[in-house]
Amino acid sequence: MPRQSKETPTDHVFAALAHPVRRDLLAALLDGPETAQSLADRYEMARPSVAEHLKVLRGVGLVSERPAGRNRYYSLTPEPLALLRAWLEPYEQFWRGRMSRLASLLEKEPLS
């Protein structure tokens, strides 16, 4: 399997979540919408840098924006995280498979 040539939405979500600052930004938005400026203040980071990160998050649909006068409020839209959960699925099955195999093993040979 020589790696799919096209990048999938899941690829982009993983890439967006790879950076600690972007995950921090998402966490901050759990408490409600905020502006780029106030987020920049919170993280001791230049506002344009925060704006870039927000752009990435918006690109994968994890964040949406609402203009309000000269302000612009960013809010969390967690739907794309469903892709992450879907990706996780086969590994959890794999894990459960291992666990049950271990369980049946212990059943046959207890306390050895």
Q: Enumerate binding residues for a copy of itself (CB under 8 A).
A: 1-3, 7, 11, 14-15, 17-18, 20-21, 23-24, 26-28, 30, 42-44, 76, 78-79, 81, 84-85, 87-88, 90-92, 94-95
**Segment contacting DNA by CB under 7 A, of 46-54, 77-85, 88-96, 98-106:** 46-54
Provide the greatest CA pair distance for the chain: 71
Compute the radius of gyration of the chain from its Cα atoms: 20
- DSSP class of residue 3 equals -
Does residue 35 bind DNA (CB under 7 A)? yes
Residue 106 interacting entry, from a copy of itself, DNA, none, C-beta within 5 to 8 Å by type: none
DSSP secondary structure letter of residue 7: P
Is 11:78 a contact under the CB 8 Å cutoff?
A: no
